[in-house]
Amino acid sequence: MGNYGKLRLLIELQKIEQKGIALCLEGIPSNSSGIADAVCVNEENAYMRDYIYDQGVLTELRFDRVC
């Protein structure tokens, strides 16, 4: 993922953060910048998104590394 891809991911995650939705990376609370950096720096690793809903409302977005 190049700089453009990282910027797109960062903007997407910032919008999610602004809605009050929690972000986690490998089970640890994180932020849009931390996740974008981890996902883009570690391109050899794949990350899976896990959308957590409570009564139909998105409350958390988790990024977990897949082996």
Could you list the pLDDT tens digit for every one of the 67 residues in the chain?
678 889 999 999 999 999 999 999 999 999 999 999 998 887 678 899 999 999 999 999 999 999 7
- State the residue range of the domain holding 19: 3-66
Count of structural domains, the chain: 1
Identity of the residue numbered 65 = R
**Of 30, 38, 36, 35, nearest to 4 (Cα)?**
36
Crossing angle for the helix pair 3-18 and 32-41, to the nearest 10 degrees: 150
Q: Which pLDDT score, from 0 to 100, does residue 1 have? A: 62
